[in-house]
Structure 1
Amino acid sequence: MSFIKNKFTLNTVLIFSVFALITAYFIQYILGHEPCNLCLIERIPYLAAIILISLIFILNKFEKIISLIVGLFFIFSAVISFYHFGIEQGFFNESLVCDLGNSNKATSAQDLLKQLEKKTVSCKDVTFKLFGLSLATFNTIISLILSAIMFKIAINYDKNK
């Protein structure tokens, strides 16, 4: 019975990860809110979770180790999201990561004009809020919950064989 519960939980995390990415792309491409560099980095753990959890179902092996890895990805997501939240609130300064696309390597006047035309988003600017909270805030909370779920699956794996 516990094995079925693990599969159900993994399916739930998988579906939630797909939903999170679809939502991010919807906000970006349909609603027109450009993401900053940290927003883009915060999507990586969801993509990794989709790939790795799918591997569990395809291979039907390595559930414990893959669950641990996915849990670590979500811890990474929580740390990055908390840092992003801190930048939005003014607790931390923007880092080099926030400025990756904004480097001034213009070699000609045309290159400089192209850079000026390109819209860049600062990590401290909240372009989209839901219930008064930024997506970085939501992602911090959600990532902590998902990491706890994945670690619980990994820790209880031997009991649920």
Structure 2
Amino acid sequence: MTQARWVILAAGGSAALLLGAFAFQHLGGLAPCKMCIWQRYPHVAAIVLGAVALFVPLQILIALGALAALATAGIGAYHVGVEQGWWDGPTSCSAGAINNLDPDALFDQIMAAPLIRCDEIAWQFAGLSMAGWNMVISLILAALWIAALRVRPTSA
């Protein structure tokens, strides 16, 4: 397979994941949490890098595409850990500790909490949340970017 086809598959996969996320949000009514939004940025970068790499086939662009896919997979893994309670998430979108809080401080913490929390699973399929699926598919996309790196571009 040509390098361009690997790049199209990898960048197209990021585009498909983004479209899926927007469909869940706008058609399915599942508003994203802060960490869900964070996972979208590397996909946008991968799409842009893929588009540019099709016209300017530089290996560095393809390597950066792989890095973008790995970055979103890493954020997804972190998000899964927050959802599962393995570690604390950002205090701006997760349940905070209530130790040593007086009732007024606890009320202020509750009122400041976002409507969409990062530590709650809004949707899951086959035991994986959306963050988990993003992680798994993004690792596959990273492998596609790496496959593109292994194929040298053909000159015209």
Same fold (TM over 0.5): yes
Is 1:23 matched with 2:34?
A: no
Mark the runs of 5 or more structure 1 residues left unpaired by the alignment.
100-115
Q: In 2, Cα distance between the equivalents of 1:33 and 1:149?
A: 29
Which shifted more, 145-154 or 82-91?
Answer: 145-154
Is 1:91 matched with 2:69?
A: no
Q: In 2, Cα distance between the equivalents of 1:61 and 1:160?
A: 9
Larger helix fraction of residues: 1
Q: Which runs of 4+ in 1 moved over 2 A?
A: 96-99, 157-161
Q: Deviations over 1:79-129 (max 9, x none)?
A: 111110000110011224636xxxxxxxxxxxxxxxx6x962111111111
Mark the runs of 5 or more structure 2 residues left unpaired by the alignment.
95-110
Q: Deviations over 1:40-89 (max 9, x none)?
A: 010111111111111112x3331x11110011111111111111000011
The answer to whether the 8 A contact 1:38-1:97 is kept is no
The one of the two structures with greater contact order (alpha-carbon pairs below 8 A, sep at least 6) is: 2
The alpha-carbon deviation at position 149 of structure 1 amounts to: 2.0
TM, length-normalised to structure 2: 0.79
Is 1:54 matched with 2:88?
A: no
Cα-Cα RMSD? 2.4
User: What percentage of aligned pairs have identical amino acids?
Assistant: 27
Is 1:153 matched with 2:119?
A: no
Q: 2:104: which partner in 1?
A: none
Q: In 2, Cα distance between the equivalents of 1:61 and 1:133?
A: 36
Which of 127, 132, 136 does residue 131 from structure 2 map onto? 136
Q: In 2, Cα distance between the equivalents of 1:159 and 1:140?
A: 28
Secondary structure of 1:98's aligned partner = coil
Q: 2:30: which partner in 1?
A: 33
TM, length-normalised to structure 1: 0.76
Supply the AA of the counterpart residue of 1:15.
G
The answer to whether the 8 A contact 1:38-1:84 is kept is yes
Q: 2:39: which partner in 1?
A: 42
The alpha-carbon deviation at position 12 of structure 1 amounts to: 1.4
